[in-house]
Amino acid sequence: MSFITRQKNGLLCRFSTVIDTVTDYNMTDEEYIEMCAQKAREKAQETLKHSLRPFEEVKASFAPTNMSRSEFNRILRLMEKEIKS
pTM of the model: 0.72
Q: What is the residue type of 23?
A: T
Q: Tell me: pLDDT of 85 over 90.
A: no
Task: Give the integer Cα–Cα distance in Å for 69 and 60.
Answer: 13
Q: What is the pLDDT of residues 21-77, one digit of tens each?
A: 999 999 999 999 999 999 999 999 999 999 999 999 999 999 999 999 999 999 999
Domain ranges of the chain: 1-51, 53-85
